[in-house]
Amino acid sequence: MMRILGLTGSIAMGKSTAAAMLRRMGVPVHDADAVVHALSRPGGAALPAIRAAFPDLALADGGIDRAALSQRAFAEPAVLRKLEAILHPLVRAAEGRFLRLQRARRAPLVVLDIPLLYETGGEKRCDAVLVVSAPRLVQVQRALSRPGMSPAKFAAIEAKQMPDAEKRRRAEIVIPTGRGKRATWVALRRALRDSSPE
């Protein structure tokens, strides 16, 4: 029976690095963020609905002003809810296709990489959850080194996320990412071994 692990973590905690490592270990990973990007780019299944919902942000080339849409959704809860109503059903459908494909392939273990896993109740679809976590100082340094990030933006993003301590409390497995990539790799290897079906 295929086991489903959720992968999540607060901003700049190393989730993308952990997901890349899991893929290198041969684990199928479903990246919810990547699906959102694919759905909303030119040719994406969600783009017509997004353009219809936000006509003032539609671009002449058939796309959408993603930066402006992101900024607006971040600032206005009603805009975010409208966008999520378009995207979430399509993301869940893509996740379902991924899981069916991996079951058909008899994958023993898969990972759902979902940034807001706990915030959206996604842990209910998982057998266990991996949370990546690093010391506060490391997290802040990583976040503020990102292009376009500011202390105010970082604080606003954090305000929309469940606190790291609460994620760690709820998770079955906590992966420390503040001691370098080698230590993260070893912790993930151990987690996979412990999580593998009997």
Confidence of residue 197 (pLDDT cuts 50, 70, 90): low
Q: Crossing angle for the helix pair 66-75 and 77-104, nearest 10 degrees?
A: 110
Crossing angle between the packed helical segments 77-104 and 32-40, to the nearest 10 degrees: 110
**Tens of pLDDT along 109-167?**
999 999 999 999 999 999 999 999 999 999 999 999 999 899 988 998 898 899 999 99
Unique residue bearing structure tokens 């952990």: 18
Encode pLDDT of 55-99 as tens digits: 999 998 888 998 899 889 888 889 999 999 999 999 999 999 999
**SS3 assignment, position 112:** strand
Taken in order of first residue, the domains within the chain and their CATH numbers are: 1-28+107-198 (3.40.50.300), 33-106 (no CATH)
Check whether 44 has a pLDDT greater than 70: yes
User: Can you give the pLDDT at residue 75?
Assistant: 85
Q: What is the pTM of this model?
A: 0.92
Describe the crossing of helices 136-144 and 151-159 by its angle, rounded to 10 degrees.
120
pLDDT at 71: 86
Tokens of 28: 């199928």
Residue 198 CA neighbour count, 13 Å, CB half: 0
